[in-house]
Amino acid sequence: MKVLLFDIDGTLLQAAPSGRLAFSDALREVTGIEDTLEEIAFHGQTDPIIWGKIRSKHGLDDSNGLEHRFFSSYEVHLAHRLHDMSDRGRLCPGIPALLQRLVAAPDVYLSILTGNIEAGANAKLMAFGLLDFFRRGAYGSDHGDRNLLGPIAIKRAVATTGATIRLEQCWVIGDTPWDIACGRAFGGRTLGVGTGSFSPAQLLEAGADHALADLSDPAVVAEVMGLN
């Protein structure tokens, strides 16, 4: 069985700046602090890491369950922001056709590996009509260190399917060097996608096994991952 673990932002869809705006909304609601968070790097980071940077910047501690209250607020605001930005967000090239092909392929476990917390990931996928393609993977809410998410996703795939899964049959598909590092960390294979802020050449330099400009040709993607 092949396990295909997709990143979300920049790989499947473009939903910026909904996440940053929702973080800012939640910060205002929970703490009263006004901050656009423009100087905080979001790309390639897990949501807990981003929250840690915000806490450090403003000297916040986690008294009275602040983190739980923050992310509960974030989930609500993200859903609103995704609805409001429906005219600006878009799917990356070829995604619907690719997912339709992959979900119909035999012995393929199609899932997610993302720095988004699980509720945020599902909100983004639902907003763009992609949620039903994927089974449960691994998320920033499972661990703040992206490099530790691969084994969590694989463990869930084994529990769901009962199949024996070899690491060389596991692929991480993403648009940043952090996605590539995550796949390499657990011994999986990696496919870089140049639909985010990094070119295919940069993703190959980061250690990707393969890199494509986009995922617009399902046949090419299937060939790269040995699905033909």
List CB contacts of 128: < 8 A, sequence separation 6 or more.
12, 13, 15, 89, 91
17 cis-preceded (ω within 30 degrees of 0): yes
pTM check: above 0.75: yes
Output the six-digit token pair for 213: 């400009």
> How far are the Cα atoms of 114, 180, 194 from residue 12, in angstroms, in the given order?
11, 16, 11
Q: Which CATH architecture has domain 2-14+91-224?
A: 3-Layer(aba) Sandwich (3.40)
Q: Which one-letter DSSP state was computed for residue 172?
A: E
How much is the mean pLDDT over the chain? 95
pLDDT of residue 223: 94
Report which of 3, 26, 47, 27 is spatially closest to residue 143, judged by C-alpha positions. Answer: 47
Q: What is the pLDDT of residues 34-81, one digit of tens each?
A: 999 999 999 889 999 999 999 999 999 887 899 999 999 999 999 999
User: What's the CA gap between 175 and 213, in Å, rounded?
Assistant: 10
Q: Where are the domains of the chain?
A: 2-14+91-224, 18-84
Which residue intervals of 116-199 are DSSP H helices? 118-127, 149-161, 177-185
Q: How many residues does the chain have?
A: 228
Q: What is the pLDDT of residues 129-158, one digit of tens each?
A: 999 999 999 999 999 999 999 999 999 999
Q: What is the pLDDT of residues 10-34, one digit of tens each?
A: 999 998 889 999 999 999 999 999 9
